[in-house]
Amino acid sequence: MEDEIIIDISGLQNCFQGQWVHKDVNLQVRRGEILAIIGGSGSGKTTIIRSILMLLKPTAGRIKVFGKDIDELSNEEADALRRRWGMLFQHSALFSSMTVLENIMFPMIEFTHLDKSFAKELALLKIALVGLPEESAYKYPSELSGGMQRRAAAARALAMDPELLFLDEPTTGLDPRGARKFDELILFLRDALNLTIVMVSHDLESLKKATDRIAFVGEGEILAVDPIEKLMKNDHPMIAEYFSTL
């Protein structure tokens, strides 16, 4: 059970306008781990996540999520799969015309027939879990600070109790204290809700503190997948350079 592989990417290739972003990406994510994807800018970290999330059709390659090839899913199966994961976008992507509470309740109301009061309690539970003060439930995203927006977006990503959570640069743009608190939140959520977390991050502190393994993307491939201590000793020139400049 512990070592069950829930994302299996093999031979992923992506080509945009004649440029090969990915030549041959192979990556496995195990249940219950926090895996970070790092690499220089433009190396296609977010593109990997977007390929997994079916936001982008890869040029070639096979991606299996929960043991199913996402390329062969029917529309219904794909929708069912989409309910099993949550994504926290880089710029939060909260619906700006809804309050935080409505943002979180939105997927619940869309996908289930829960009665309003129960859905509201559930949404407030998520708000409390991500450490937002309860007054922010009735505020609009534009009234919140960047860090609080990020937390609200995390609460929305958790609305449907996903098994798999994707985070795109969750701590970028947060102050160091806020960033460390977010790391704690990530660890807490993983342990409390048995999540598997895949994140893109550049934040060395957060990589050290909140990840089990790190995949380094470079030259269109995954150059190494290792825990941080081991990866920092890797003598591949790109990896060494990445950590020397941090």
Partner 1 sequence: MPDNMSSLFEFDQSAREIRCIGNWTVLNMDGLAAKLIELINCTEESLNINGKELKAMDSAGALALHNAITHSESVNKAVSLHSFNKQQNAMLKLVKEQEEHLHYEPPKQTKDNIFALIGKETISKLLQADGLIILVGELSSKLFIAFGQWRKLHVPSVVSNIFTAGIQALPILALLSFLIGVVLAYQMGIQLQTYGANIYIAYLCGIANFREFGPLITAIIVAGRTSSAYTAQLGSMKINEEVDALRTMGLSPVELLVMPKVIGLTLVFPLLIFWADSFAIFGSMFMSKFMLEVSYVDFLARIKSSVGVKHMLLGLYKAPAFAILIALVGCFQGFRVESNADSIGSQTTRSVVQALFLIIIADAVFSIVYSWLDL
> Which residues make up the interface to partner 1 (CB under 8 A)?
80, 83, 95-97, 108, 111-115, 118, 121-122, 124-129, 134-135, 137-138, 140-142, 160-161, 192-194
The least distance separating partner 1 from the CB of residue 113, rounded to whole angstroms, comes to: 4
| Contact status, residue 65 vs residue 54, Cβ threshold 8 Å | no
Of 47 and 103, nearer to partner 1 (C-beta) is 103
The least distance separating partner 1 from the CB of residue 126, rounded to whole angstroms, comes to: 7
The least distance separating partner 1 from the CB of residue 112, rounded to whole angstroms, comes to: 6
Q: Which of 211, 200, 150 minimizes the C-alpha distance to 37?
A: 200
Of 77 and 205, nearer to partner 1 (C-beta) is 77
Of 74 and 142, nearer to partner 1 (C-beta) is 142
Of 17 and 192, nearer to partner 1 (C-beta) is 192
